[in-house]
Amino acid sequence: MGKRLIKNKDIIWQKSVKERDNYTCRRCNRNTNIDNVKVEAHHIQDYHDYPELRYELDNGICLCDQCHKEISEKNRVDRLSKSKKDSVSIFNHQFTDIKCEADKKYIDELDNAIE
């Protein structure tokens, strides 16, 4: 696949995730329009480990830049401490189950694990 095609698919995927989540961080509920924060699309399952999920909308979640940074750093540390087979962090498993606002239990666990 050419680099230009990949970049275009990335842009479309990112925009689709943000629109689906109404430009609202699924972890802290801050919104681009209300709270003036930057939101980013995050892959729940890392596409380096799961390339077949790279452009799946259900493999994305909208996070503000601060939450994305915290989760990405925690995932990086987890990967360094685990074998390739076990490299998917607990945060990615928790995000898989977040489908609506009511699933606060997972977000609370995520917050406690980061602190």
What is residue 82's predicted lDDT score, i.e. its pLDDT? 65
Q: How far apart are the first and last CA of the chain?
A: 40
Residue 32 sits at φ, ψ, to 5 deg, of -55, -50
Q: Which of 51, 22, 78 lies closest to 30, judged by CA?
A: 22
Span of 23-27, 33-37, 73-77 with lowest mean pLDDT: 73-77
Tell me the pLDDT tens digit for each residue of 68-99: 999 988 877 777 776 544 544 455 554 544 54
Measured CA to CA, the distance from residue 108 to residue 80 in angstroms comes to 24
Taking all residues of the chain, what is their mean pLDDT, rounded to a whole number?
79
